[in-house]
Amino acid sequence: TRRAALASVAAFGLATSIATTASADGMTFTMATSGSETDQRSVALADVFAPMVAGFADYKPGYNGTMFAQGAELEAIARGNLTMSITSAQELAQFFPEFSIFATGYVHQDAAHQVRVFNDPLMDPFKAKVEDELGVKLLSVMYLGKRHVNLRFTREEKDIQTPADLAGVNLRMPGTDAWQFLGKALGASPTPLAFTEVYTALSTGAVDGQDNPLPTVVDKKFYEVTKQIALTSHLVDLNYIAFSKETWDAMSPDQQLIVQRAADAAAAYGRLKQLDQENNLAEFIRSQGVEIYTPDLAAFRDHVQSQYVGSEAAASWPEGLLERINELGN
């Protein structure tokens, strides 16, 4: 039936695409991310996932948005042009608004909480919908880290203690509604921009700042073009390993089990590495001339949470879900 699936793909003229292909030797899993090759999630997939599936599949990653631009990956999987991506709840919320709950500020508490939420039955209808309506399986949850506000201003120029201090600050956020909402909820003026454009935009002053976890600040060298980080921890950010259902259905049950185990192992490995980096990078970033400090967290949390109450995003959340997520916290 894998051949039949390929035949039908060919019939639609997609045979020359970079979709999952089967050959006498096995399958090819293409993976697109806007992250770099040295991003821990990329490393985890290359070093843990790829060897585990190597018995029947070649892993072909494309980094830095070169294979597909940020935000185009899910559609590429749905159309049969890509096997895998490291996707976000914000991107899924473009198709299924209720995913915005997982992209909401100050909801997830830490990496372990994300895992409990992902593995809880509360996720089942979310996973089923993505699978049925988009042809994408969410295999595992990856940890990106605590996002903080990282600005070009020195602290003398702008001291960020509360959301009011971000008024008028042109803060780059990724380009979906859920991200823009969060940027506004923080008190800033969000500007949508693809991840691959951020360094240049910071260096030219096209934006005043960006938000990402400390490991990303180091991986992308944002410390070269910024002067301060206010540790707002406004989003304990996650990604999902997204996988083509068409490819999944073409595999044997044994292969499916191996892919699932490989995804879980990569996510677990990447999580530990990312947590370790997150806990150890502040000193290095400071040594590069970036001031790191903690603002009034209660002020940020209260303001951000109050912005979601009664919002359009919150209207899409299943009844009682936020309470259930909170119960799974600490």
Taking the C-alpha atoms of residue 32 and residue 36, their distance in angstroms, rounded to an integer, is 10
Residue 106, helix vs strand vs coil:
coil
- 270, 273, 277, 280 alpha-carbon torsion, rounded to 10°: 160
Which of 27-35, 74-82, 109-117, 299-307 is the region at the interface with ligand KDO (rule: CB under 6 A)? Answer: 27-35
Question: Residue 216 interacts with ligand KDO (CB under 6 A)?
Answer: yes
Phi, psi of 175 (to 5 degrees): -90, 55
Cα–Cα distances in Å, from 9 out to 85, 103, 163? 20, 34, 50
| Binds ligand KDO (CB under 6 A): choice among 81, 83, 191, 212 | 212
Question: Residue 150 interacts with ligand KDO (CB under 6 A)?
Answer: no
Query: For residues 77 and 258, which CB has a smaller minimum distance to ligand KDO in the complex?
Result: 77
Question: Residue 88 interacts with ligand KDO (CB under 6 A)?
Answer: yes
Buried b (16+ CB within 10 A) or exposed e, 220-239: bebbebbbbbbbbbbbbbbb
What does the angle CA 124 – CA 125 – CA 126 come to, to the nearest 5 degrees? 90
The secondary structure of the chain in percent helix, strand, coil, rounded to multiples of 5, reads 50, 20, 30
Taking the C-alpha atoms of residue 202 and residue 216, their distance in angstroms, rounded to an integer, is 14
| Binds ligand KDO (CB under 6 A): choice among 61, 62, 135, 174 | 174
* Count of residues that bind ligand KDO according to CB under 6 A: 12
Which of 32-40, 74-82, 122-130, 272-280 is the region at the interface with ligand KDO (rule: CB under 6 A)? Answer: 32-40
| Residues 273 to 312 in contact with ligand KDO, rule: CB under 6 A | none
**Residue 227 · residue 241 · CB < 8 Å:** no
State the nearest-atom distance from the C-beta of 182 to ligand KDO, in Å.
Answer: 11
Run of H or E including 291: strand 291-293
Residue 263, helix vs strand vs coil:
helix
Query: For residues 26 and 192, which CB has a smaller minimum distance to ligand KDO in the complex?
Result: 192
Question: Residue 264 interacts with ligand KDO (CB under 6 A)?
Answer: no
- Candidates 191, 189, 271; CA nearest to 237 is 271
Strands 170-173 and 209-212: parallel
Query: For residues 9 and 93, which CB has a smaller minimum distance to ligand KDO in the complex?
Result: 93
Q: Per-residue string for binding with ligand KDO, 187-206, x by CB under 6 A? A: --------x-----------
State the nearest-atom distance from the C-beta of 216 to ligand KDO, in Å.
Answer: 6
Which of 31-39, 49-57, 248-256, 260-268 is the region at the interface with ligand KDO (rule: CB under 6 A)? Answer: 31-39
| Binds ligand KDO (CB under 6 A): choice among 34, 150, 233, 307 | 34
State the nearest-atom distance from the C-beta of 166 to ligand KDO, in Å.
Answer: 17
State the nearest-atom distance from the C-beta of 107 to ligand KDO, in Å.
Answer: 15
Question: Residue 35 interacts with ligand KDO (CB under 6 A)?
Answer: yes
Q: Summarize as ranges the residues that interact with ligand KDO (CB under 6 A).
A: 33-35, 39, 86, 88, 144, 174, 195, 212, 216, 239
